A = this chain, B = another copy of it.
Amino acid sequence: MADKVLIYSRFPKTMMARFAERFELLDTGGKPAQDVFSGNELAGIRALLTAGGSPLGAEAMDRLPKLGAIVCYGTGYDGVDLKAAAARKIAVGHSPGANAASVADIAMTLMLAATRRILIADQYVRSGDWASSRQSPMMRPQAGMPGRRIGVYGMGEIGRKIAARCAAFEAEVGYFSRTKHDLPYQYFPSLEALSDWCSVLMIAVRAGAETQHVVNADILKRLGEDGYVVNISRGSVIDEKALVAALSDKTIAGAGLDVYQEEPHAPDALTVLPNVVLSPHIGGHTLDSHVAMQNCVLANLTAFFAGRPLPHAVKTA
């Protein structure tokens, strides 16, 4: 009989196909597990698969008394209460680096699309405004990439890939992270200092309680009226209300967002703005990235059910 895996978050079925070949999946479709499965069914669950951002605390763990492994699809694990898991001897795994290039690429896509106003440009062509010479204030030339000061917040695998890509665009690259690395980019000792210096802020920090709303009204003001924010980390890092206000009153010029405070919802105040480019958390959403992430999930689950340690375990400090 196949080992059972609880699918704790909402995932498209196509993404689960490879796991279904090896395991018996109990799919909650993102609903509370106890609403979908009986206590009896849940009592037997030893492993679950979750999206790292989905809240998964002590209470949820206690409804699964035999739970031994929490496997996150992707890099993030910010929704998982690591202390509660450790106290219950539940191993936590993820897919470190598997989607780094794909996520860095969506960061670049959002930055370029926002700064070069590609949504407006496309609409200008499709609407016929170009053909009829209609003037559009949104089509005014913007600052280009060469010489642009791009600040990368967080210098993990994704941050490094973003920095390398930005450097190829002849931009100046600076960064802030907890520790200074041996990298050919200017280091700033605080997010404030980085934001004073740069006009594009790329958020690539690992999200957690200590990064909650650190990109706030003050940081946005420091970016200035030519400033852009790109977020591919987690929605929680930005104070979303402050961002909407800064975008609406032109405190900053624009934003490119792949993540939101309450996914899959993007607030109406954001979706009506012309100076933002929005994507539905598709940073890791490429064929190669999915295969790499699935490989990590399969390796973690296979090791767990064989009684071995997770090969891609979350490293806790």
Interface flag for A121 (CB, 8 Å): yes
B-facing mask of A101-127, CB < 8 A → 1, else 0?
A: 110011011101100101101101110
Contact A146 B280 (CB under 8 A): no
User: Does A271 make an interface contact (CB < 8 A)?
Assistant: yes
Residues 252-273 of chain A, each 1 if its beta carbon lies under 8 Å from chain B, else 0: 0000000000001110000100
Per the bound structure, the CA–CA distance linking A109 and B266 in Å amounts to 24
Contact A105 B112 (CB under 8 A): yes
* Interface size, chain A (Cβ < 8 Å): 54
Cα A144 to Cα B265 in complex, Å, equals: 25
Q: Is A287 an interface residue (CB 8 A)?
A: yes
A12 pairs with B118, CB closer than 8 A: no
Contact assessment for B113 and A118 in the assembled complex, using a CB-CB cutoff below 8 Å = yes
Which one, A167-175, A183-191, A196-204, A205-213, is touching chain B?
A: A167-175
Task: Check if A271 sits within 8 Å of B126, measured CB to CB.
Answer: yes
Known: A112-B105, A116-B106. A278 touches B125 (CB 8 A): yes
B144 touches A102 (CB 8 A): yes
User: Which B residues touch A287, using CB under 8 A?
Assistant: 141-144
Give every chain B residue within 8 A of A170 (Cβ-Cβ).
101
In the complex, what residue of chain B is closest to A165 when comparing beta carbons? Answer: B168
Please determine whether A118 and B286 come into contact, CB atoms closer than 8 angstroms: no
Whether A108 contacts B119 by the Cβ 8 Å rule is: no
Known contacts A113-B109, A141-B285, A147-B288; decide if A130 and B266 are in contact (CB<8 Å). yes
Cβ–Cβ contact A130 & B264, under 8 A:
yes
**Cα distance, A171 to B124, chains bound together (Å):** 31
| Cβ of A165 to closest chain B Cβ, rounded Å | 5
- CB neighbours (8 Å) of A113 from chain B are 109, 112-113, 118
Which of the listed residues A12, A144, A288 has the most CB atoms from chain B within 10 Å of its own CB?
A: A144
**A108 and B10 alpha carbons, distance in the complex (Å):** 33
**How distant is A67 from chain B, measured CB to nearest CB, in Å?**
27
Closest partner residue, chain B, to A278 (CB atom): B125
A275, chain B: closest CB distance, angstroms: 12
* Residue in B closest to A108 when the chains form the complex, CB atoms: B112
Supply 14 further A-B pairs (C-beta < 8 A) apart from A125-B278, A141-B287.
Answer: A101-B145, A105-B112, A105-B116, A105-B169, A108-B112, A109-B112, A109-B118, A112-B112, A112-B113, A118-B118, A118-B279, A122-B279, A144-B289, A165-B165
Sampled A-B contacts (14; CB under 8 Å): A10-B133, A101-B146, A106-B116, A112-B112, A119-B119, A121-B278, A125-B271, A131-B265, A131-B266, A141-B282, A141-B285, A142-B287, A165-B169, A167-B168
